[in-house]
Amino acid sequence: MPVKWLFYWQPNVGSQVSSQTLNDVFKRIDSLHATKSTRWQITASQYRPNVRDQALPVDCARELLGVTFTEAPDKIFFVLRQEHMVVEADATMQAIMERLQVYRNRLTVLFEGFQYELGDFRVKAGRAVLAPVENLRGIIMEVEYMPVSSLEQSRAAVLEFMELWQEGVILGQFVPLELNFTDFSLSDHYCWQHTALQYVSLMAFFLSQQRT
């Protein structure tokens, strides 16, 4: 599958992330005569172990993250960050996890927006909100470089695309999310597991930013 690069909006000192920022991003993409296609949504959820007696120890991962994509509705991806593991499963696995009640959903972040086609690039722009109250946590851009499946081979083209795209933008900038995929035994050949890791990492980043 084509490589997807993920960028998050970093406002200049003194500026705030707001819904207006996203509107400006949409306008800027429109001004490049990109073709607006579909809406997209990605759901990233954080789960904690369901411990019967808090006073007693429990031998399990402290955090489980799950991601689903509207683009791949029959799949769910799980990430264990501490254990460096990404696991792909059929969507039914979510129902199994709910029946087992071993992990409880703590919070969910929705990434949603519009998708655009721009030559060799497919761009998704959107917001990250905490469900269900829709509290804005961040603005993101996903840039998919259609001809290439290798992360390294796509790096120069995607970064150059973003550099050109951001020329003249003054209130902040889109920063690439750089991850060490090899820590999670993911190769340079891009797949959905990479995407899952990117989105849960971004969710964790947005949540940690809010705390600080």
Partner 1 sequence: MECVVQGIIEAKHVDALEVLLQGLCGGLRETVKVHEICLKTGPNLGAVPSEIHLLCSLTQPEPVWRVRHTGGAMRGAGAEQLPALVRPVLESGIGNSALRFMYALGYKLDYELLRSGFSFQFHRTIPINVNITVSVTAVNRLPKMHTLDEAVPVTPGLHLVQLTAPASPDNYSEVVGAISTFAEFLAPLLHLSKPGVFAGIVPTASTAAAALVSRGGVTKVL
The footprint of partner 1 (CB under 8 A) covers 49-53, 56-61, 64, 78, 80, 83, 85, 87-93, 95-96, 99-103
Please report how close the Cβ of residue 112 comes to partner 1 at its closest, in angstroms: 26
Give the phi and the psi of residue 157 in degrees, each rounded to 5.
-65, -45
d(CA 19, CA 17): 7
Please report how close the Cβ of residue 87 comes to partner 1 at its closest, in angstroms: 5
Q: Which is nearer to partner 1, 53 or 152 (CB)?
A: 53
CA torsion sign for 89, 98, 49, 200 is: positive
Q: Which is nearer to partner 1, 24 or 88 (CB)?
A: 88
Please report how close the Cβ of residue 183 comes to partner 1 at its closest, in angstroms: 14
Residue pair 205/34 in contact by the 8 Å Cβ criterion: no
* H or E segment and range at residue 158: helix 151-166
Q: Which is nearer to partner 1, 77 or 206 (CB)?
A: 77
Cβ burial of 27 (10 Å; 0-12, 13-18, 19+) is: exposed
d(CA 43, CA 142): 15
Q: Which is nearer to partner 1, 99 or 211 (CB)?
A: 99
Please report how close the Cβ of residue 59 comes to partner 1 at its closest, in angstroms: 5
